[in-house]
């Protein structure tokens, strides 16, 4: 049995199509791998940013607490200072 020229052309075209499909499959697989790597990298970045956010939030809370303590202390000092000044003024007035 012999193969005709037309049959050989059809076989050749099918082989070319198969090669093309294989190449497209490789490209698709490569794209999928790159997308997975991109997702993995993005997830790591998000995780790192969340850790940084937690650290900054914790630092902010600590600084806020310290600031509030200093403000309360300064208010007390100011109150005692005013009270002392008023008392001194009153004692000076009473002495005259």
Task: List the Cα angle 32/35/40 in 5-degree steps.
Answer: 125
The token duo for 43 is: 């997830």
Q: Which residue has the tokens 């490569």?
A: 30
DSSP 2: -
For 55-73, what is the mean pLDDT?
92
Q: What is the pTM of this model?
A: 0.55
pLDDT of 96 over the 80 cut: no
pLDDT of 94 over the 80 cut: yes
State the pLDDT confidence band at 52, using cuts at 50, 70 and 90.
Answer: very high
In this prediction, residue 24 carries a pLDDT of: 95
State the pLDDT confidence band at 48, using cuts at 50, 70 and 90.
Answer: very high
């Amino acid at each position: 049995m012999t193969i005709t020229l037309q049959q050989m052309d059809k076989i050749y075209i099918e082989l070319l199509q198969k090669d093309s499909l294989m190449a497209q499959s490789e490209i698709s697989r490569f794209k999928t791998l790159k997308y997975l790597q991109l997702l993995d990298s993005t997830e790591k970045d998000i995780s790192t940013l969340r850790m940084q956010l937690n650290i900054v939030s914790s630092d902010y809370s600590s600084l806020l607490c310290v600031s509030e303590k200093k403000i309360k202390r300064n208010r007390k000092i100011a109150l005692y200072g005013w009270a002392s000044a008023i008392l001194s003024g009153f004692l000076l007035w009473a002495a005259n």
